Structure 1
Amino acid sequence: MQQSPASQPTQSSSGDAADIRLLVLDIDGTIAGVSNQINAAVKQTVQAVQAKGIKVAIATGRMYRSALRFHHDLGADLPLMTYQGALIQDPATQTVLRHWTVSKNLAAQLLDYFEQPELRDLLSVHFYIQDQLYVRELSSESKNYAERSGIQPIAVGDLRTTLDREPTKVLALTDDAILIDRILGHLRAQYTPAELYLTTSVATFFEATNPLVNKGTAVQYLAEEYLGLQPHQVMTVGDNFNDVEMLQYAGIGVAMGDAPDDVKAIADWVAPSVEEDGAAVAIEKFLLS
């Protein structure tokens, strides 16, 4: 996965489970599956590690408002890492600790690319600005996204009208995973890692953020600057390419059983799938046994 040298978090060798003081969890595909809820088994293991004094945090590609209910459901008390780490905010105080955005110029360039005649009718484009979701129109894909995220999109017709402010994230989605993969390849050839961080959170979501943004740098900030910890004291659990950097950073990086093979290959351990409560199994194995 490409990224600029400036955004490369410290990579850690495998850690000792006894050293872990921070557990960081992804949401979709990790602690929330088809039900879009956190199962009881995951909640119980999280509560058990919290009782041991281990801190728990969430790192997600979701909007802050969309992720907030999961943060509360886990009883987490740390800042919430959202938009792949572009926005880190403390729900207890509403303090924004970090907010890195995409420049207006680059957002407009991405929109020009997505609105090429051969792509325009195939993609739903989302601009996330000040924790609001703006779309050109309410497509079926946008409606499905809204239902799962619990966020009502604001249809504006021409997304250029929103670019008086810089987006936190730009997303393009479609049911065609092959098309998303092709778009990712084209845009990675067009933009250097120093210009944009490009990734997929699920196979049908293309995402672009500030080049300094990824979950690895977000977790590194939370661990080292906020909590005074080192990588070997961190365990992370995730399921997709947008989780790679935080899996590499942590002393223990766990990939879910549903993860792509390339993600599993960089993990220290592979858990069962999200529908099999794989996150709970991993927490039990490393932090409670």
Structure 2
Amino acid sequence: MQTSITSFIDQLNIQYPVITHNGAQIFCPRTKRILYRQSFALTDSIAATLATLAKLENIEIMYFMNEEIYTNEKGPLIQIFEAKEELTVFEQIPTLQNEYVTKIIIAHTNQALLTAIEQQINAEYPAICTTFSEPEYLELLPTNTSKGNALTFLKNNYLDPARQVITFGNNLNDIPLVSEADIGIAVLNAHPELKRVSTFVLEKTNQEDAIADYLEKLQLTKVMA
């Protein structure tokens, strides 16, 4: 979310547009404007399907609407999400039918169950995109939404075509982003499928500051050249 990355934008003085919500939104720090936004309507049918899923044991569902997050019931996975992202998930949901959401996260510790739910969603609602941001988090996104499609939008409208685009990733939802870049890089502990489509794999994990290490070595190479 935009609100969860504001501190990083400020610390790093980022001026270029920032992709958020797994590709559903692009925010420009310099102009404070949303350059690109995708959403989908929670039709009666989708809302009914989600209500049925919410009754399954230990299923937790988060609705992302207008830079706020809502849930029916806050379980342990949502609490972990709040701590990690330094965000608050509200346990009171506004009227959902026919509201527009940026994305939905269905959370559970059993990835096999989430994969079965993903297959059901894909079969019943082919216009909804699905991806895993973590093994415990299945994300439902608007039509044709991905980090890769958002990067394509930036390349076509805002980025200098003479410059190369480098991206880094670690999970399945980063595959479109890495694939769309001129140079797509996976950290050492990345998902095997992401490693297969990457230009190369780093020697360190994202817990070992892999990206910072790569950038420092890149800078050193330029200085010595």
State whether structure 2 residue 115 is matched by structure 1 residue 181.
yes
State whether structure 2 residue 18 is matched by structure 1 residue 80.
yes
**In structure 1, which of residues 202, 211, 214 is the aligned counterpart of residue 134 of structure 2?**
202
Q: Is the 8 A contact 1:199 1:241 kept in 2?
A: yes
> Match for residue 246 of structure 1?
177
Query: Alpha-carbon deviation of 1:66?
Result: 0.9
Tell me, in whole angstroms, the C-alpha distance in 1 between the residues paired with 2:54 and 2:88: 28
Q: Is the 8 A contact 2:131 2:140 kept in 1?
A: yes
Deviation per CA, 1:214-244: give whole Å up to 9, x if none: 11111122233112326x7111001111111
Q: Is the 8 A contact 1:235 1:252 kept in 2?
A: yes
The normalised TM-score by structure 1 is 0.70
Secondary structure of the residue aligned to 2:139 is strand
Alignment of 1:136-215 (within 5 A): 136-156=72-92, 159=93, 161-163=95-97, 165-192=99-126, 195-215=127-147
**In structure 2, which of residues 165, 180, 186 is the aligned counterpart of residue 255 of structure 1?**
186
Distance 1:155 1:118, change over 3 A: closer
Secondary structure of the residue aligned to 2:176 is helix
> Match for residue 48 of structure 1?
none
Q: Is the 8 A contact 1:114 1:123 kept in 2?
A: no
1:242 maps to a residue whose letter is: N
> Match for residue 59 of structure 2?
123
Deviation per CA, 1:83-138: give whole Å up to 9, x if none: 01211112333211111101221xx5444334337953321101100000011022
Deviation per CA, 1:3-27: give whole Å up to 9, x if none: xxxxxxxxxxxxxxxxxxxxxxxxx
**In structure 1, which of residues 81, 102, 122 is the aligned counterpart of residue 40 of structure 2?**
102
Deviation per CA, 1:143-183: give whole Å up to 9, x if none: 22112111111112xx4724453000011112222222222
> Match for residue 8 of structure 2?
70
1:64 maps to a residue whose letter is: Q
Query: Alpha-carbon deviation of 1:281?
Result: 3.3
Q: CA RMSD in A?
A: 2.2
Is the deviation greater in 108-117 or in 161-170? 108-117
Secondary structure of the residue aligned to 2:40 is coil
Distance 1:65 1:163, change over 3 A: farther
Is the deviation greater in 136-145 or in 265-274? 136-145
Secondary structure of the residue aligned to 2:99 is coil
How many residues were matched structurally?
Answer: 220
The normalised TM-score by structure 2 is 0.88
Query: Alpha-carbon deviation of 1:257?
Result: 1.2
> Match for residue 59 of structure 1?
none
Secondary structure of the residue aligned to 2:61 is strand
Query: Alpha-carbon deviation of 1:191?
Result: 3.3
Indicate the percent of aligned positions where both proteins have the same amino acid: 23
Q: Considering Cα pairs closer than 8 Å and 6+ residues apart, tell me whether 1 or 2 has the greater RCO.
A: 1
